[in-house]
């Protein structure tokens, strides 16, 4: 066997181990997440949450004297 073939086999084995490790890490991350946690939504609009009823308008958040 040529050294090129052996190097290729070693590289393929290394890549497979790397893929398996990443998969185990992702599974562990999902398992450690609380069951009642909801995925966080990232706002995509630029209206600064004006349509979101949970967001207070700037005028509502300031105490008036």
pLDDT values of the chain reduced to their tens digit, one per residue, 65 residues: 788 999 999 999 999 999 999 999 999 999 887 766 556 667 676 655 555 556 555 555 555 55
pLDDT score at 28:
92
User: What tokens appear for 32 in the block?
Assistant: 């450690």
Tokens 């630029």 sit at which residue? Answer: 46
Rounded Cα distance between 15 and 10, Å, is 9
C-alpha gyration radius of the chain? 25
| Token code pair at residue 46 | 């630029």
Token code pair at residue 20: 């398996």
**What global pTM score does this model have?**
0.45
Closest listed residue to residue 57, CA positions, set 42, 47, 65 = 47
């Amino acid at each position: 066997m040529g050294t090129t073939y052996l190097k290729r086999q070693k590289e393929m084995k290394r890549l497979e181990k790397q893929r398996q490790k990443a998969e185990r890490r992702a599974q562990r991350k999902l398992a450690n997440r609380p069951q009642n946690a909801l995925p966080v939504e990232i706002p995509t609009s630029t209206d600064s949450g004006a349509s979101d009823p949970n967001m207070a308008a700037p005028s509502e958040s300031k105490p008036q004297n």
